[in-house]
Structure 1
Amino acid sequence: MKSSSFLLLVIVWMVMESRADLPGTWELLVADAGIASMHTAVTRFNTVVLLDRTHIGPTHKRLTQRHCLKDPVLKRDCYAHSALFDLTAGKIRPLMILTDTWCSSGQFLSDGTLLQTGGDGDGVKKIRRFTPCEPTSFCDWEELEDAELSQGRWYSTNQILPDGSVIIVGGRAATSVEFFPARRHGGAVNFPFLAETEDTQIDNLYPYLHLLPDGHLFVFANNKAVLYDYKKNVVLRKYPQLDGGPRNYPSAGSSVMLSLTGDYAAATIVVCGGAQYGAFIEKSIDTPAHGSCGRIEATKPDSVWEMEDMPFGRIMGDMVMLPTGEVLIINGAQAGTQGFEMASQPCLYPLLYRPDEPAGLRFMTLNPGSVPRMYHSTANLLPDGRILIAGSNPHYFYNFNAEFPTELRIEAFSPEYLLQEKANIRPTIIELPEKITYGGDFDILVTTELPVVGIVEVNIASAPFATHSFSQGQRMVKLRVSSAVPNGLGAYRISCTAPPDGRVAPPGYYMVFAVNTGVPSVAKWVKLH
């Protein structure tokens, strides 16, 4: 007994030591948010919209009695299924959602309003709107009465376009696209690519959409991708098939478009992870996920997928663009598939994907968390450079006694660039215009404790709608900048040029980060128009 106990202590010590040696830190932000956030979005007022679904039974956050709803599960539902988290005060207040937002989609509009579309049941054709406000003011969900989707959309994807409108693509039994506001022709437009990518598991749900700097859409579903001219409803190019099996829901991998930079002509797409085909049909929770990643320069003629492997197989991982242009891969499991109680072996280790390194050296394993984040978990970049981690409910209702219980804790993961020993090179933005215009020049003023060496980057990041392992509308643009010029009292002035047009960065609110030697500032919000 003594020897086995000693061996156990040695193993625990080794695990703790290995964790201590890996970059990144974790902190608990909220012990009980009241709801498990299936959908998460960060607003320009540094608040976070948390959104689950209705018809799920009781949550831990109550509404006032006068706001109770009729509900097929509870008959009289007095529980909140959405909430607003104030990052500064650490407080959460309930929001009122009327129709079912289960597996719905969303996107911020150019005026900062959060558009929310579709869902299940009574929400399948619904369009909702949340207009963010200062934390000291009151704002809530509005369900539009004068507009609805022309086709029911469950598991669809939204993307803001260069003119500020939104395209809504796909969904269960919806092989079409439509727009908000509705186009003159009205209704849905057939998109045959979605029918072509259906299989017996319907692995084309929540398609990956990326707006390329030429104004066309890169659309990925199942294991195929096309270049889509949404104005003419024409497929301009079919990309090579990505090996490794299906990548979209329910075989969920994840995808990002890497930072746009230079002359903004090139765009590179990365797709990582996914479940083995058949795991969903067979409800096999133990089938190992695969860890392959494909990378393709979508704007280059005749480009092909460059393949590499992550250190772990992973499904339901979230890919988050960091202010530096690197990518954080976090959350998910190493076996099974998406769906209720259909995954096992949580993947607690985040990965850092460094796109400028050569293949084989791009992945760095980071400090693991301790909370399994399985089905219906999310990850979002915060203005201070941390990553907010929320959700995880692999059950139809809330279940706190299962092997992987419904998760109401909200955490933050701090990448290595936020280590205390790097604090003296972290810049602070002290002057920035509230609005910038396409192609216009503007200055920002930053300070640092130590003198600036080299170029301070100025990078802008959108605030996406994160759900089901894909951040809808996620975008990072590295601006053209001059060298930092000393401006007295430890301050530096940096001249910047805004993106040239809405194809490079659609109109709206962006987080602006100054990045000094790989260390980002706290972001300030700017409106691009």
Structure 2
Amino acid sequence: MADVHLHLLVILTVLITVRARAQLPGTWELLLENAGIASMHTAVTHDGTVVLLDRTDIGPSQSQLSSGHCRVDPTDRLLPRGDCTAHSALFDPSTNTLRPLSIITDTWCSSGQFLHDGTLIQTGGDMDGFRRIRSFSPCNNHRCDWVELKSPLLSAGRWYATNQILPDGTMIIVGGRAAPSVEFYPAVGRQLHPFPFLAEAGDRQMDNLYPFVHLLPDGHLFVFANARAVLYNPSTGQVLFEYPILEGGPRNYPSAGSSAMLALDPADGYTKAEILVCGGAQYGAFLHRDTDALAGTTCGRIIATDPDPAWAMEEMPFPRIMGDMVMLPTGDLLVINGAQAGAQGFEMASNPCLNPVLYRPNEPAGLRFMTLNPAAVPRMYHSTANLLPDGRVLVAGSNPHYFYKFKAEFPTELRLEAFSPEYLSSDRANIRPAIEAAPEKVGYGMDFEVEVVVSLPVVGVVELNLASAPFATHSFSQGQRLVRLAVSPPVEVAGNDGVHRYRIGCKAPPRGEVAPPGYYMAFAVNLGVPSVARWVQLASI
């Protein structure tokens, strides 16, 4: 009889769990069972394809290169005589198909950013990739591949660095292991600048690696490492200001917090920039390999442009390290992936944090976090999350081992998934706008129009928001930003196809400090529901 009661209790527990899961917002979708590689670095191109990139000396992947593209590296610990498997791939989310790409030099813990023309520049790494620069230019003939630049080389080896596009379209490369300095690509006559702050902010834990770098709308950089942050002038190499220390422990690699800049708004003339930093490991967790040390629950939020800035503290629903922050088209922030204990690194974490949370910055303090539908797949070290043009979030990677390992508590993860926020639920389809016409290129300060259609009549304003395509790696999306545009009230125009058609006047960002030149996903947002994006190139015209 006791066995029967126990069996009924188990069934009841499962039913309650399933029901609770179904009631939480958001849905999960398996896109590919086997992507061939575990994507440590992920970036969405303006063609809508997605670059997946792992390190090279990780052992054979499950994706084969085409003939003649094998990599030979005598220092490769597993395959010194040659490796004919791919460590990069191009994923097309519209068809759920993959094409292997060839990468030669080691991209382990490297950095990247898109240039103004949509070319992905990828810098640094380990071993033979330490000072290398690589480029990938998206194409529609299915032949584009990585190009390893023989010249120039980086002025310093960059391992665990952070890249950020600047207002003039050049890219700054910040820090890296044993590299407390910055340099630029293209260099255009600029020299490597020492950046002693990065050495001062670190310790034996190396919590200054992958610093959080945000371009503020005044052209200066907010640079955060460990628990400290400074205001940095990239033109002069000067530290202009030091922010208050953020309490709650170290936040950068290997302590695995994350950061994002909240949406920039024309309502204040694009003069206000707020930075959010969340999560992180306990001090010493990495050093002592304490995989059960509970992660932090705190977030700090600061107005980086305030003359007297101060951190405002908030609590997340879960402890979290290695969480990825994704700016959604609505201005809300998705925190997804990661673990609840341990630190960043190979086999250094435990207790996966399966529930994403939504951070709603405009809600009152204490009511900003919403718990979402949990994942079935743990995403630990070397996992990524990226916003797709259709509003979904692509989730990839998780390889918490030195080499590909499929028989482990947390195996190497080759599955690609998509998380759909609640705004994509079927009960909101009637208010989801679609962009029918938009310019392909706009200049700074330019007035332009977009045309949208909606099934139900629009009530109020339809927003137009520009979302960058960042380079996501190691719990930080390099170059991520969302810029709201000034818009006029929608004007309904004639139509006879059973939908409501509107013309919306928009004004482009005024300068590169607000939105650096490049390709952006332009989303129309109606009552919190975004359209499928149109790619728009922002440039000086």
Q: CA deviation at 1:195?
A: 1.1
1:13-412 aligned within 5 A: 13-71=15-73, 72=76, 73-74=78-79, 75-134=81-140, 136-186=141-191, 188-261=192-265, 262=267, 263-412=269-418
Distance between the aligned counterparts of 1:480 and 1:149, measured in 2? 40
Distance between the aligned counterparts of 1:439 and 1:386, measured in 2? 30
Structure 2: runs of 5+ lacking an equivalent: none
Distance between the aligned counterparts of 1:139 and 1:65, measured in 2? 16
- The CA RMSD measured in Å over matched residues stands at 0.7
Q: CA deviation at 1:176?
A: 0.3
Q: Which moved more, 1:463-472 or 1:80-89?
A: 80-89
Residue pair 2:184, 2:190 contacting (<8 A) in 1 also: no
Question: Aligned pair 1:496/2:506, yes or no?
Answer: yes
Q: CA deviation at 1:6?
A: 1.1
1:356-398 deviation per Cα after TM superposition (whole angstroms, max 9, x unaligned) = 0111000000000100000000000000000000000000000
Q: Which moved more, 1:63-72 or 1:340-349?
A: 63-72
Distance between the aligned counterparts of 1:477 and 1:70, measured in 2? 44
Distance between the aligned counterparts of 1:95 and 1:213, measured in 2? 36
Q: CA deviation at 1:303?
A: 1.3
> Amino acid of the residue matched to residue 34 of structure 2?
D
Distance between the aligned counterparts of 1:415 and 1:507, measured in 2? 28
- Residue 423 (structure 1) aligns with: 429
3-state SS, counterpart of residue 19 of structure 2: helix
Structure 1: runs of 5+ lacking an equivalent: none
3-state SS, counterpart of residue 275 of structure 2: strand
> Amino acid of the residue matched to residue 229 of structure 2?
A
Q: How many residues align?
A: 527
Q: Which of 487, 491, 515 in structure 2 is aligned with 1:505?
A: 515
1:472-502 deviation per Cα after TM superposition (whole angstroms, max 9, x unaligned) = 0001000000000001112100000000000
> Amino acid of the residue matched to residue 50 of structure 2?
V
Question: Aligned pair 1:442/2:444, yes or no?
Answer: no
3-state SS, counterpart of residue 340 of structure 2: strand
Question: Aligned pair 1:11/2:13, yes or no?
Answer: yes
Distance between the aligned counterparts of 2:240 and 2:480, measured in 1? 23
Distance between the aligned counterparts of 2:515 and 2:19, measured in 1? 43
Q: TM-score, normalised by structure 2?
A: 0.97
Question: Aligned pair 1:482/2:476, yes or no?
Answer: no
Distance between the aligned counterparts of 2:31 and 2:252, measured in 1? 30
Residue pair 2:31, 2:417 contacting (<8 A) in 1 also: yes
3-state SS, counterpart of residue 19 of structure 1: helix
Q: CA deviation at 1:145?
A: 1.1
Distance between the aligned counterparts of 1:58 and 1:204, measured in 2? 31
Q: CA deviation at 1:89?
A: 1.9
Distance between the aligned counterparts of 1:110 and 1:36, measured in 2? 28
Q: CA deviation at 1:3?
A: 1.2
Q: TM-score, normalised by structure 1?
A: 0.99
1:287-315 deviation per Cα after TM superposition (whole angstroms, max 9, x unaligned) = 00011000000001111000010000000
Runs of 4+ in 1 over 6 A off after TM superposition: none
Residue pair 2:174, 2:181 contacting (<8 A) in 1 also: yes
Distance between the aligned counterparts of 1:273 and 1:89, measured in 2? 35
Percent of counterpart pairs with the same letter?
A: 67
3-state SS, counterpart of residue 7 of structure 1: helix
Q: CA deviation at 1:137?
A: 2.9
Distance between the aligned counterparts of 1:185 and 1:4, measured in 2? 71
Question: Aligned pair 1:523/2:525, yes or no?
Answer: no
Q: CA deviation at 1:76?
A: 1.4
Residue pair 2:230, 2:241 contacting (<8 A) in 1 also: yes
Q: CA deviation at 1:86?
A: 1.2
